[in-house]
Structure 1
Amino acid sequence: MKMTGFTKSLGLTMLAAMLVLSACSGGGGNGGNGENAGTGNGSGESDAPAGDTTLSIMWWGTDARHEATQKALEIYTKQNPGVTFKPEFMAWDAFWQKLPTLAASKTITDVLQMDAAYIQEYVARGQLEDLSDIDLSGIVDPSVIENLSIDGKLYGIPLSQNAQGLAFNKVELDQYGIPHPHKDWTYDEFFQWARDARAKLPEGKYPIGDTSTWDGFNYYQTAMGKPPIMSDGGKTFTLDKDLFMKFYQTYEEFRKDQIVPPAEKASAFLENDPQADPMASGVVMTRGATTGSVGALEQLMPGKVGVVNLPTGPAGGGWAQSTIFLSVSANSKNKDEAKKFVKWFIEDKEAGQALGTTRGIPINPEIYAELEPTLEDKDKLGKQIYDLSLDKALPFYSPAAGFSEWVDTYRKEMEAVSFGQQSIEEAFEKIDKMGKELAAKAGG
């Protein structure tokens, strides 16, 4: 799920994005994402000779995911000599910038990676093929398929189990005598932990990052027992003003007390960049991470990463579910082969070995059982996030179709607050007004 925004915001706060979110799903996603983490940029085309069918495919992710996926494509061509691939891969942001253009021209690749943060939007556009006729019995738990169905149909084959959590620099926390975050901590405990940690950290280091994305607040609102901001396919919009003011007034206090980095510094952060990642650079002690994305952080700072679930409220907190999928374009001319391939992607054991945990915990339990004895520390961290999050997890809430502009507006308005350009209440009025208008339009 990079999942999406909150993976970045948690990543820059603690406090998902993750996720799109997932993914979503991670990091994310969100995910984050959530699944928002991605260091690799670029594209590649298969060197294999042209066969009877060429499947175009695109995905986002880290370099490790790119390399593993290309190995899997080679295995498929070896097993199915009549099929070759035209792959394209990139980082999260570049992927979601390109996909709307492809959708507008009806030239989406035959197969594409999809995130829970955006899948409903592309289903509503009629861009994704119904995959309900693919038999996933014995591969994917029926309850997972039921949770992922949209109007009774399946538009994405789930690739992994994912969860949004919080990564922390356990070595530096120990160095400064700061206790580690603990499982199932509440938001009140999280905020107090940040205040206490600030008192022990030297100048230029911060316990948590700031947050400006909608899902960061949505986690808080739903944890407090309120409805998600968007529900009923966007027909219902609920932005609780009292909770909104309380949440962001806390971060306003944190900016004044240097508990979070100043806005100028936060705006320059870039997740998974060795120099600019908020946590790997040693500036922020915590950031958001998903099951699928935390491995990239561990590689940047080996042996220093600990994980915990997101803060909770009376209703629970965070999410743990499938957020990242393979979908098939509704305009594909190779639908039958594409459907065969997406099932193979989660079913074939040789492919499972090649893909490893580059998209999180494999959805196929048989493949994960084979991988488990060989997992590296970076992969075990992803499993820890999932296990720690599961019992308190709430559903993963993706943006409703038609709310993409609102998601961007939310971030821009809250960034304006962090830079001191407007008040929290002014931002609320703009965000709330636009959300209600979109909900009315969806209902009409």
Structure 2
Amino acid sequence: MGKRKSQGAVLTLLASVLLLAACGGNSESGGDGQSGTDTGKGTDSGGAKTLGMMWWGPDARHEATKKALEIYTQQHSNVKFKPEFMAWDAYWQKLPTLAASKSIPDVLQMDAAYIQEYVTRGQLEDLSDIDLNGIVDPNVVENSKIGGKLYGIPLSQNAQGIAFNKEELAQYGIPLPKQNWTYDEFFQWARDARAKLPEGKYPIGDSTTWDGFNFYQTSMGKSPVMADGGKTFNLDKDLFMKFYNTYEDFRKAKIVPPAEKAAAFLENDPKADPMASGVVMTRGATTGSVSALEQLMPGKVGVVNMPIGPSGGGWAQSTIFLSVSANSKNKDEAKKFVRWFVSDKDAGEALGLTRGIPINPDIYKALEPSMQPQDKLGKEIYDLSVEKALPFYSAAAGYSEWVDTYKKEMDAVTFGQQSIEDAYAKIDKMGKELAAKAGGK
């Protein structure tokens, strides 16, 4: 289900996420040109400036963001923008190259799955001096800090949940998923649904990404796989074997699609999306990604929170941010802009829900009356998830190769090329080596 990548990170996750902004009027700004923390109606100062800004997302986000930049230039005539935007994969392929050459744009979109890594590299500016009172909940701000400092302004409330095809489930007499279902109930639901579905349709998808298992491990009261900035590594073998043996049984019983079919899935593609294509009845979705699925299959999408264990399950918090490059030559103006992005009324109207549920509650209230059904599904995921949600656990800095290795080894399991035990041994060995390196041992 994964997070962070709407494309396929376990649910995930996480992808995804929000737009923002709010209570200020058209003349409101975020800084005074000195500290970058103006409390209200600022005026333009200094000579002409060009801010580079980089973000990922779908076309709707690109167009909305460009409109917001135009509004900022209208309000601050001395500031223009050099925008760069691309899809998720291309973004994270390009950013390391820019970081290596110290040429990251002044303002960049940042994700919870990667922000720690770029903070560790010294690539992001401390934004703790930006005044977010009345704009972002203080608890959200505090939860977004790394080492007591704020390196990204949260843009949205996001959550990981599960989307389901409520129309087909009802058609085949399968009970719809209910809030706060346990993992045992989730697995039994999948077994029961298999008995009622025709050949070629599957109740759930397979699980091969680290965050999908991390949801399970933490829900059972265990620590996350990675902690302390990667210095602690704990891949619980008993839970690992139990979780993946369940999916091994599911492959044999045709409860999940065969590996060959799963490898061809492409989320949000009308013909290749596992759920929109009618092949799988459920898949992971976040507040920011579920609207795209609803547009592919209008009126058919229901949502529920992630399965839970004794400690809860899933997550519900901010996962997408605007950050400022530590190498920016326009840090004060950049800080002023990122505050504006989450506080200006016109910006909020222009951005809509292209980054999910606005972090500024006043903006959300202003947008709510005009929302379409697909827009409200994201808020529904958040509302269903928040009660039992655990923190969002991202991969630690230096673990990107481990994340790729995890999926590669588990994909090999699904194709019958190696045992679960062998996969565990390789993944665990690499993780412990990285933890030792991070701890300087």
Q: Under a length normalisation based on structure 2, what TM-score does the superposition of the two structures give?
A: 0.91
Paired with 2:5 and 2:204, the residues of 1 have a C-alpha distance of 16
Rate the CA distance shift 1:292–1:149 in 2: closer, same or farther, 3 A.
same
1:419 aligns to 2:415 (yes or no): yes
Larger relative contact order (CA 8 Å, sep ≥ 6):
2
Question: Which position in structure 2 is the counterpart of 1:18?
Answer: 13
Structure 1 letter corresponding to 2:266: L
Rate the CA distance shift 1:432–1:2 in 2: closer, same or farther, 3 A.
closer
Question: Which position in structure 1 is the counterpart of 2:81?
Answer: 85
Deviations 1:17-56 (A, max 9, x none): 212x446x79xxxxxxxxxxxxxxxxxxxxxxxx921111
Question: Which position in structure 2 is the counterpart of 1:434?
Answer: 430
Question: Which position in structure 2 is the counterpart of 1:54?
Answer: 50
Report SS of the residue matched to 2:303: strand
Paired with 1:128 and 1:119, the residues of 2 have a C-alpha distance of 9
Report SS of the residue matched to 2:293: helix
Matches of residues 192-211 of structure 1 in structure 2 within 5 Å? 192-211=188-207
Question: Which position in structure 2 is the counterpart of 1:158?
Answer: 154
Question: Which position in structure 2 is the counterpart of 1:336?
Answer: 332
Deviations 1:336-356 (A, max 9, x none): 111111100000011101111
Deviations 1:385-408 (A, max 9, x none): 000000000000011111111111
Q: CA deviation at 1:430?
A: 0.5
Report SS of the residue matched to 1:299: helix
1:406 aligns to 2:402 (yes or no): yes
Paired with 1:7 and 1:218, the residues of 2 have a C-alpha distance of 18
Question: Which position in structure 1 is the counterpart of 2:41?
Answer: none
From 89, 106, 116, the counterpart of 1:120: 116
Deviations 1:228-249 (A, max 9, x none): 0011111111100000000000
Structure 2 letter corresponding to 1:278: P
- The total of aligned residue pairs comes to 413
Deviations 1:281-302 (A, max 9, x none): 1111111000111011111111
Paired with 1:18 and 1:261, the residues of 2 have a C-alpha distance of 20
Paired with 2:16 and 2:270, the residues of 1 have a C-alpha distance of 23
Question: More displaced, 316-325 or 352-361?
Answer: 352-361
Q: Is the 8 A contact 2:2 2:211 kept in 1?
A: no
Matches of residues 90-109 of structure 1 in structure 2 within 5 Å? 90-109=86-105
Taking only the aligned residue pairs, the percentage that are identical comes to 79
Q: Is the 8 A contact 1:178 1:197 kept in 2?
A: yes
Q: Is the 8 A contact 1:2 1:22 kept in 2?
A: no
Q: CA deviation at 1:6?
A: 8.1
1:264 aligns to 2:260 (yes or no): yes
Paired with 2:108 and 2:49, the residues of 1 have a C-alpha distance of 17
Deviations 1:109-167 (A, max 9, x none): 11111000100000001111111111111111111111111111100000011000000
Q: Which has the larger radius of gyration?
A: 2
1:348 aligns to 2:344 (yes or no): yes
Matches of residues 155-304 of structure 1 in structure 2 within 5 Å? 155-304=151-300
Structure 2 letter corresponding to 1:73: L
Q: Is the 8 A contact 2:7 2:267 kept in 1?
A: no
Deviations 1:310-364 (A, max 9, x none): 0000000000000000001111111111111110000001110111111111111
Question: Which position in structure 2 is the counterpart of 1:32?
Answer: none
For the aligned residue pairs, the C-alpha RMSD in angstroms reads 1.5
Structure 1 unaligned segments of length 5 or more: list them: 11-15, 27-50
Q: Under a length normalisation based on structure 1, what TM-score does the superposition of the two structures give?
A: 0.91
Structure 2 letter corresponding to 1:18: L
Q: CA deviation at 1:5?
A: 5.2
Report SS of the residue matched to 1:117: coil
Q: Is the 8 A contact 2:276 2:293 kept in 1?
A: yes
